[in-house]
Amino acid sequence: MAQAKRVNRPLSPHLQIYRWQIPMLTSILTRITGHALVAGVLLAVWWLVAAATSESYFAFVNGIATSWFGDLVFTGSLWAVWYHYLAGLRHLYYDAGKGMDIPTAEKLGWACIIGSVVLTVITILLVQ
């Protein structure tokens, strides 16, 4: 027993080398979108405060809110809120003890991703 035989034991995969799967991707996206939404809320509240303050200040903030930067923040936030919305509904469904098997969970994940893009486009068309 001078030299112990080396055995190739399976290693627990680290997050960085673990193959991305729909349930884990859609789970972390829920948290990311939820927190990123604060950017859209800040811009919307600033815009509302400007409207309450004066006509000239509103013109300044409205200029930013409707610029390419505002479009970027609000379009991003719109997708984020719809994604977080669908993922939240999925959470309530999971909480009821349903949809936990892998094929259903993966379908629900795709429903969140595709559904959020579809709802974003519909909302943009509705408010144009």
Residues that bind another protein (CB under 8 A): 31, 34-35, 37-38, 41-42, 44-45, 47-49, 51-52, 55, 58-59, 62, 65-66, 74, 78, 81, 85, 88-89, 91-92, 95, 123-124, 126-127
Q: Shortest approach of another protein to residue 107 CB, angstroms?
A: 21
Q: Shortest approach of another protein to residue 110 CB, angstroms?
A: 20
CB proximity list for 34: less than 8 A, separation 6 or greater = 80, 84
Please work out, in degrees rounded to the nearest 5, the angle formed at the alpha carbon of residue 78 by the alpha carbons of 68 and 91: 155
2 versus 125: smaller Cβ distance to another protein: 125
62 versus 113: smaller Cβ distance to another protein: 62
Q: How many whole angstroms separate alpha carbon 100 and alpha carbon 95?
A: 10
* Contact status, residue 13 vs residue 24, Cβ threshold 8 Å: no
